[in-house]
Structure 1
Amino acid sequence: MQRIPCVLMRGGTSKGPFFHAWDLPTNVVERDEMLINLMGSGHELEIDGIGGGSPQTSKVAILSPSLHADADVDYLFVQVMVAQRRVDTAPNCGNMLCAVGPFAIEEGLVQATEGKTLVRIRNLNTGTFVNSLVETPGGIVRYEGRTAIDGVPGTAAPVQLTFLDAVGSKTGKLFPTGQASDVIDDVELTCIDMAMPMMIIEASKLGVTGGESPAELEGNSALMQKIEALRIKAGAAMGLGDVSGMVIPKPVLISPAKFDGTLQVRYFMPHDCHRALAITGAIGLATACVSPGTVVMQMLGERANGLTQVRLEHPSGSIDIALERTAGKPIQASVVRTARRLFSGYVYAPSVRRLAG
């Protein structure tokens, strides 16, 4: 058995182990096999590993000092599949990203400053940059506070994330198909790539209200099959190729807000409905709210004019996103989340056979 230094952290509504890159194999195939083994991937409960049996709790963050002039640390996100023994490193994860700043400071990758510490993060999955502002009174990361986020019990210290250049995170374009809306199989949808490639559809177009619980949506086999068929075609149209084995683009169902929000959303990962909402997904949805021609802006109508604050209602509550638009510059989006260090120590994984070459 291999003993690997590890810190388990909650970031937003996700949690998973955080590693230093130097503690993992440099060979990518060996590294991925190790992560599959230590998480217990291939079993629906991940019973023989530290994964939580859900896409939200089967995530890994790998950090290293950055050589880029605009970043302090490099962050690689790994989505470890639950029932399948494989990983996906195509997308970023904004929830796990919430814990990157605190981890980097406590592990000595970034020097803390009095009051608050700015951690400049380069996401290796997408090549994009995010600023994380962490509370550090006395030069120590503060986890306790009064900030509440829906989907997580209790309160904690705020972590502010600002996405600096999230446009075209995987495709290089905000609208990879060349237009703000498309029609696939007689269904109008928007393919957008802002922090996360997504396929956005008005829920009513697929015969649901958009207010159903995640379990209800996942139990609707006809709906899930239709969403996957559309996702595969949308992925090809976005230039992502055959996405049947990928977790992008993410399907999203939108509907009018029930309460005081801007929009109600159901976000898929892609075959399970998120119990809350991915941060990267929230950034993309907020951008779609103010982008002419999208199915989101069409649904909002005049309410979309001049929006600088977007509230997205999800199954566990809501999340607020602030938008900043400067002439000649891409849209920047900010969100406040929380994080917590859960334990630190070692995780044990079966030895991975060294690969030839």
Structure 2
Amino acid sequence: MRIPATLVRGGTSKCWLFNSQDVPASRDLIEAILIDTFNAADPRQIDGVGGATSTTSKAAVVSAATAEDVDVDYLFAQVGIGDSRVEWGSNCGNCATAIALYAVSHGFVEPTPGTTLVRMRNLNTGTRLEADVATPGGKLPAFGNARVPGTLATGVPVTLAFLDAAGATTGSALPTRHAREELAVEGQHFLVSMIDAGAPMVLVDAGSLGLTGTEGLAELSALVPLLTTIRNAAAVRMGLRTAGSPVDHAVPKVGIVGPPKDFVTTGGQHISGSSYDVSVRTLSMHTPHPAIGLTSAVGIATAALTPGTVVNTAMVRGGSRQAADGVTHLRIGTAAGVIGTASTVDPFGGTMRIGLERAARIISESIIFSREAATARTSA
């Protein structure tokens, strides 16, 4: 069966996007199609459209929203690599950036001169997002000059904002009701903060690991087994799964947090500790993230505003910087460079808005051949 699909780079991820009208309504059938077309069972994904890395083995199904204040709904899928399954428990800000372009290019939203607002809802978590997409002259450009840390590629400028992202999965920004606590893992104790904002996260104080938080990707790779064990223990503590139940490798996100120090990026750029507020290194599934996932950046920004968290206490100058316009800016030092967030609280409605500057580009409009989709249609 032939399935129309669009490949879009959003930030530092690549996402295959499907119109909901072109795939079955059943999530089980969608999962079977993704496992087949990505060749998820093969660690190289050689016989499929997957990129064989956690940042390029992603997909989303996009549909016109039924709510009046939302333009598109999307269901995000993290497709397995060497693992015949799909994890549905999370969201991806980079893919949301890609979906914003897709919504304009595929007629879900009519472009307007200057910028076009796209209002989105993630069906996995209920998180609401807004994106301002650059549409000069009321047209979506094929290319752009915007760039983000973690890639040399340029793309169309997109400002992505998460709205009231705290507690979307667990019901609380602090699922355990503690800003900071010790987590016991295999006879060791680690100082952590467990946050639910953007996506559930467990953030480990770098000092309790004997680290600085500015380690390179090679050093972080050696810590993947330990960080995975910490993630699994935190998932139980946060109520995301019960002990003994199947492990989810997508959530909670896991990261190491430390105070700002000088370091050299993966691209060879020297970063001064005075140029950012907090050091963060995160995992994406089983590997170090080359920069940081946007949902993780939202969690870091939320933790920065929460007294007592490992992020808040690691920051210099007593916390993030408050601008005169009421926007709190946070500069996050990642292995790829510094990524900024801007947090605003509506004084009347109480809405929290966390914005990030991104870039995206549509790479391909394609037809994917699916054996599973053909089987599903024949069965129907």
Give TM-score, length-normalised by structure 2.
Answer: 0.88
Does 2:313 align with 1:292? Answer: no
Secondary structure, counterpart of 2:248 in structure 1: coil
Tell me by how many angstroms 1:169 deviates: 1.8
The share of aligned pairs that are identical, in percent, is 35
1:159 is aligned to 158
* Alignment partner of 1:329 is 2:350: yes
Farther-moved stretch of structure 1 (137-146 vs 90-99): 137-146
| Aligned positions, number | 353
8 A Cα contact 1:287 1:331, kept in partner: no
Deviation at 1:228, TM superposition (A): 2.4
Paired letter, 2:157? P
* Alpha-carbon distance, 1:130 to partner: 0.6
SS in 2 for 1:98: helix
1:26-55 deviation line (CA, Å, top 9, x unaligned): 222121011111111111211000111100
What does the per-residue CA deviation read over 1:297-350, in whole Å, with 9 as the maximum and x for residues that have no partner? Answer: 112254305541111111211211011134472432101100000010201122
Evaluate the alpha carbon distance shift between residue 194 and residue 136 of structure 1 in structure 2; reply closer, same or farther with a 3 A threshold: same
The reply to whether residue 106 of structure 1 matches residue 105 of structure 2 is: yes
Conservation of the 8 A alpha-carbon contact between 1:9 and 1:339: yes
* Structure 2 residue 236 is matched with structure 1 residue 241: no
Q: How far apart, CA to CA, are the structure 2 residues paired with 1:314 and 1:282?
A: 10
Partners of 2:284 and 2:168 in 1: CA distance:
17
Which stretch of the first structure deviates more once superposed, 55-64 or 306-315? Answer: 306-315
Letter in 2 for 1:344: E
Determine whether 1:224 maps to 2:227. no
User: Which contiguous aligned blocks of 4+ residues in structure 1 show a shift greater than 4 angstroms?
Assistant: none
The answer to whether the 8 Å contact 1:159/1:338 transfers is: yes
Q: What is the CA–CA distance in structure 2 between the aligned matches of 1:29 and 1:202, rounded to whole Å?
A: 38
Q: CA RMSD in A?
A: 1.8
Which residue does the alignment assign to 1:272? 287
Question: Does the 8 A contact of 2:89 with 2:124 survive in 1?
Answer: yes
Do 1:251 and 1:270's aligned partners in 2 also have CA atoms closer than 8 Å?
no
Following superposition of structure 1 onto structure 2, how do residues 40-119 of structure 1 map, counting pairs within 5 Å?
40-119=39-118
Q: Tell me the CA shift for residue 246 of structure 1.
A: 4.2
Deviations 1:162-190 (A, max 9, x none): 11120112111100001211211121110
Matched AA of 1:298: T
Contact 1:16–1:51 (CA<8 Å) still a contact in 2?
no
**1: CA distance between counterparts of 2:101 and 2:355?**
18
Q: 1:164 to 1:43 in 2, by over 3 A?
A: same
State whether structure 2 residue 330 is matched by structure 1 residue 310.
yes
Q: Deviations over 1:143-201 (max 9, x none)?
A: 43332211121433310111112011211110000121121112111000011100001
TM-score normalised over the length of structure 1 = 0.94
Residues 179 and 307 in structure 2, CA contact (< 8 A), matched pair in contact too: yes
* Contact 1:135/1:157, CA 8 A, preserved across alignment: yes
Q: Give 3-state SS (helix, strand or coil) of 1:41's partner.
A: coil
Give the Cα separation in 1 of the matches to 2:143 and 2:230. 43
The residue number in structure 1 matching 2:200 is 197
User: Match for 1:351 among 358, 365, 372?
Assistant: 372
CA distance in 1: counterparts of 2:346 and 2:14, whole angstroms: 34
Looking at structure 2, the residues matched to 95 and 244 of structure 1 have their Cα atoms a distance apart, in angstroms, of 24
SS in structure 1 of the partner of residue 156 of structure 2: coil
Partner of 1:188: 191
Letter in 1 for 2:154: T
d(CA) in 2 for partners of 1:154 and 1:249?
29
Whether the 8 Å CA contact 1:132–1:159 is kept in 2: the answer is: yes
Task: Within 5 Å, give how 1:247-258 maps onto structure 2.
Answer: 247-257=250-260, 258=262
Give, in angstroms, the shift of residue 214 of structure 1.
2.1
1:69 deviates by 2.0
Mapped partners of 2:360, 2:144: distance in 1: 11
Q: Aligned-pair distance for 1:70? A: 1.7
Paired letter, 2:289: H
Deviations 1:215-247 (A, max 9, x none): 3322x2xx3333222222211121111462342
SS in 1 for 2:312: helix
Change (3 A) 1:333 1:230: same
Q: Which residue of 2 aligns with 1:17?
A: 16
Which digits, 9 at most, give the CA deviation of each residue in 1:53-94, with x for residues without a partner? 100000002100000122010011100011111101110000
* Structure 2 Cα separation of the partners of residues 162 and 217 of structure 1: 29
